[in-house]
Amino acid sequence: MAARVARSVGQGALVVDFALYLHALHWSAIHIGGLYSVSLLVGALATLIVGPLSDRFGAKRFLLGYEGIQIGATIIALSTAQPVWLSLAAILGAFGRGANGGAGPFAPAEQSWMSRSVSHKQWGQIFHLNTSAGLTGMAVGALLATLPGLLNGVLPGPEAYRSLFIIVLLGSLFCLFFLLRARESSLSAEGIDQDTAPATKLESPEIIADKPSSVGRVLLRFGAINALNGLGIGMVGPLMAYWFHLRFGVGPAAIGAAMALAFFSAALMSLLGLRLTRRFGMVGTVTRMRLLGLIMMLALPFAPVFWLAMLLYIFRAALNQGSIGSRQALFLGLVGKDKRGLAATVNSLSLQAPRAIGPSIAGLFFEAEMLVTPFLLAVALQGMYLILFRQFFSKQKQ
């Protein structure tokens, strides 16, 4: 968790300011959206490789490799703003995408490692705490993202934004330190425990499918449903700070402070989600929180002033991201211990690949000054996802 916090600080800073940095470099909305799409697509393809291999070779070496790549990408971004090199760094380093402290395409390895480290009865608690830790780090990073606004009188526009990569570099170095000190138990040493028993209650994230053919069918259905969520997220999530700038003309100081509050609220909501799961179960908690979040998203683009839009965004972020821990525990409970890297891969790939399409579509709408349309599409897609999500887990329970 300490590694996640260190990583998330840099992510929080760039999720606020990276698109604004590109805008200051005179990139168009179409080019900004295109870069985000390519970055997300490359991450999704890398996920195909990392998740299953982490089940065989362990997660730690992959996470160490990810931090090494992140350090190299950050050094490139610190050194130059030349479009080709900056694009390469952004794709490798997943700049501006935000992942609540997750390790990008290496997140399946991280999730698999965590699930193997504790009993399945602790998954809900551990994943909620892990999400909350990442969101807290994102909040700190978003606060630091206000620095370019304060440095405008000292450094020229783009140079003020480039200073944020120092924060990303320091976060990666600290993350590398924490990972080197962490111990990973081997899968073979863990043996077979109560996780091999079939699930009887949906409120506990236990195994639902255990035969290879059954596992494949369940994961395929889950991935198809999750793709709707990914496409909906991609429509608005990655370019949210840029949208605030285009819609209200505000800069990094206002956006960073407001998004920091949103991430901090989401961290608290993730902890509250632990209490809600005891009352409503994991599926009930996810559907209730996401439904309220959808209502906030529908209202957000129609807000007439910045402060009202930010209030809606803060509540929406808290409700959506506060349910991440429950969703992670649910999908990892679909399979046995030796297939959790695969389950995490299916979850991540089915989310990230469709999500990669979203920024390009949003960029086209932004360029045409159609700032409401991406939100309406996102609400429709995530509404369908929510209905199918509940039906999917209800059938598995039966």
Q: How far is CA 57 from the centre of its chain?
A: 24
Tell me what pLDDT residue 205 has.
46
Tell me what pLDDT residue 176 has.
84
HEC states along the chain? Answer: CHHHHHHHHHHHHHHHHHHHHHHHCCCCHHHHHHHHHHHHHHHHHHHHHHHHHHHHHCCHHHHHHHHHHHHHHHHHHHHCCCHHHHHHHHHHHCCCCCCCCCCHHHHHHHHHHHHHHCCHHHHHHHHHHHHHHHHHHHHHHHHHCCHHHHCCCCCCHHHHHHCHHHHHHHHHHHHHHHHHHCCCCCHHHHCCCHHHCECCCCCCCCECCCCHHHHHHHHHHHHHHHHHHHHHHHHHCCCHHHHHHHHHCCCHHHHHHHHHHHHHHHHHHHHHHHHHHHHHHHHHHHHHHHHHHHHHHHHHHHCCCHHHHHHHHHHHHHHHHCCHHHHHHHHHCCCCHHHHHHHHHHHHHHHHHHHHHHHHHHHHHHHCCCCCHHHHHHHHHHHHHHHHHHHHHHHHHC
Instruction: Give Rg (Cα) of the chain.
Output: 20
pLDDT in tens, the chain (398 residues): 677 778 888 888 898 899 999 999 999 999 999 999 998 888 878 777 766 666 666 677 778 888 888 899 999 999 999 999 999 999 988 898 766 555 565 566 666 666 666 665 665 567 667 777 888 888 899 899 888 877 777 777 788 888 889 999 998 898 888 888 777 655 444 443 444 433 334 444 444 445 555 777 777 888 888 899 889 988 888 889 999 999 999 988 889 988 898 888 888 877 776 677 777 777 788 888 889 999 999 999 999 999 999 999 988 888 887 777 677 677 666 666 666 667 777 777 888 888 889 899 999 999 999 999 999 999 999 999 999 988 887 765 54
Structure tokens at 159: 């140079």
Over the stretch 358-392, which tens digit does the pLDDT of each residue have? 899 999 999 999 999 999 999 999 999 999 988 88
Short-list 340, 322, 320, CA closest to 332: 340
d(CA 135, CA 321): 8
Report the CATH number of the 2-180+199-397 domain. 1.20.1250.20
Tell me what pLDDT residue 51 has.
61
Tokens 């632990």, located at residue: 274
Tell me what pLDDT residue 73 has.
93
Over the stretch 58-89, which tens digit does the pLDDT of each residue have? 677 778 888 888 899 999 999 999 999 999 99
Taken as a whole, the chain contains a residue count of 398
Tell me what pLDDT residue 204 has.
46
Handedness of CA 319, 322, 323, 327 (dihedral sign): positive
Tokens 């683009």, located at residue: 301
Tell me what pLDDT residue 23 has.
92
